[in-house]
Amino acid sequence: MSGSFRLFAGECTTEFEGTGPRANCQRGHVVCLVKPDDTVLVHDADGYQPVAWLTRPEALTVESDPVRIVARDGDQRLRVTVHEEYALSSVPASAAGTPVGSCPGCGGSLVRTKGGVVCVDCDVRYGLPGDASVLDETCDCGLPRIRAERGATFEVCLDRECESLDAAVKEAFDRAWDCPECGDDLRIIRRGGLLAGCDAYPDCETAFSFPRGVVAGTCDCGLPAFRTGSGSARCLDATCE
């Protein structure tokens, strides 16, 4: 799991200290939620916005007798004192996203989130290129296959250890183009990001970030032109006009 939600419900006094209009003291029947990253949210019966909150505080303590949640971040402090307790519980937490299949390891649901694909049960996580789509097709390993455009359209396993998008791009385009500075081959490498870099490195340090999109002709400079998702064309060299 990605941690737990801790839930405190009861008649509480909420005190927020710090600068700005959020500094106040309130009392009422509320729910206090502590997220896995220690963010504290206090909700009452009105509206959707919490009446008090502190996001990812530097320090968090939960005291007992009485139950008190104290979060501190710089000169800000949020303290929630539970006078009459209705419910105290801890429940599993996970990322939420669009369902894309089942986890072959535990059978849980795989969901696509901003950072990739994650299992909501065992918390295994797979990175995903930002432009990639997750297919209904399943790899032999049990994971979904994905589609991404890197010079051409590639369909590979979600797990890069099973089937690497980088390896597919390298097989298709390694040494396919000449370095515009020295004429040597451009190699497909990963150094921070996916690059088309000169084989003469370090004597020649020419390198281009490998763009999204598919090759759709040749730029006037001689390097390949890529058709992007917007339909426009751009040179491999992002500085080429």
The string of pLDDT tens digits covering residues 172-181 is 999 999 999 9
Residue 233 has pLDDT above 90, yes or no: no
Is residue 195 scored above 70 in pLDDT?
yes
Q: Which CATH architecture has domain 4-92?
A: Distorted Sandwich (2.70)
List, for residues 121-134, the tens digit of each pLDDT value. 988 999 998 889 99
C-alpha radius of gyration, the chain, whole number: 26
Structural domain spans, the chain: 4-92, 98-169, 174-235
Which ranges constitute the DSSP H helices of 1-142? none
CB count within 10 Å of CB 177 equals 19
Share of the chain above pLDDT 70, in %: 99
pTM for this entry: 0.75
Question: If phi over 0 gives left and psi between -120 and 50 gives alpha, with beta otherwise, what is residue 112?
Answer: beta
Question: Looking at residue 107, what is its pLDDT?
Answer: 93
Residue ranges in the chain assigned as alpha helix (H): 165-173
pLDDT at 142 over 60: yes
**Burial of 21 from C-beta contacts in 10 A (0-12 / 13-18 / 19+):** exposed
Q: What is the pLDDT of residue 114?
A: 84
